[in-house]
């Protein structure tokens, strides 16, 4: 069971205004966040360059797409990740109009890429409009484990 009395002093502590690595929370003092591009942010797992701290000498793997389907899926992942990261930021900073605009741009791009993928390769989600005509369309597709690797 969650003990609220245990956590309350933590939230009232002056050090609670720090992130997990002990650095000051850079967003509390009205500083403008510095963003990576969606591609770099997706690879690093963090859109905010002023909060990114690489683990030791870790370098993200450079994964390339083998075909149009993988390329479109990778771009959709990047843009969706960027929109989600900005959504989390906006939960704490709902008045930041420039980030709201950027979030909406990424969200619209992600929706467009989702529709494009849906038209070319089939539905990605259960809420896809293409499922109105053929509700079990995904059963006709090749599953990832059925694909024979090129050796």
Q: What is the DSSP letter of 51?
A: T
Cβ-count burial 106-129 (b if 16+ within 10 Å, e if not): bbebbeebbeebbeeebbeeeebe
pLDDT on residue 22 = 46
Q: Which of 42, 43, 125, 126 is nearest to 86 (CA)?
A: 42
Has this prediction a pTM greater than 0.75? Answer: no
pLDDT tens string, the chain, 151 residues long: the values are: 434 343 333 333 334 444 444 444 545 555 668 899 999 999 999 999 888 888 888 888 888 899 999 999 999 999 999 999 999 999 999 999 999 999 999 999 999 999 999 888 878 777 777 666 665 665 666 666 777 666 5
- H/E element holding 85? helix 68-92
pLDDT on residue 14 = 38
Orientation angle between helical segments 68-92 and 97-121, nearest 10 degrees: 150
pLDDT on residue 95 = 92
pLDDT on residue 98 = 93
Q: Which 3 state secondary structure label does DSSP give 35?
A: strand
pLDDT on residue 62 = 84
pLDDT on residue 41 = 93
Domain edges within the chain: 30-124
pLDDT on residue 146 = 75
């Amino acid at each position: 069971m969650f003990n609220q009395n245990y956590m309350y002093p933590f939230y009232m502590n002056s050090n609670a205004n720090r992130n997990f690595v002990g650095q000051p929370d850079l967003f509390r003092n009205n500083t403008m966040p510095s963003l990576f591009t969606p591609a770099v942010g997706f690879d690093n797992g963090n859109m905010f360059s002023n909060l990114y701290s690489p683990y030791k000498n870790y370098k993200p793997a450079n994964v390339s797409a083998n075909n149009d389907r993988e390329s479109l899926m990778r771009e959709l992942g990047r843009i969706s990740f960027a929109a989600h990261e900005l959504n989390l930021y906006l939960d704490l900073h709902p008045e930041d109009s420039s980030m709201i605009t950027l979030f909406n741009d990424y969200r619209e791009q992600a929706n467009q890429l989702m529709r494009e993928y849906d038209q070319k390769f089939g539905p990605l989600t259960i809420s896809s409009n293409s499922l109105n005509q053929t509700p079990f369309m995904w059963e006709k597709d090749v599953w990832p484990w059925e694909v024979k690797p090129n050796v």
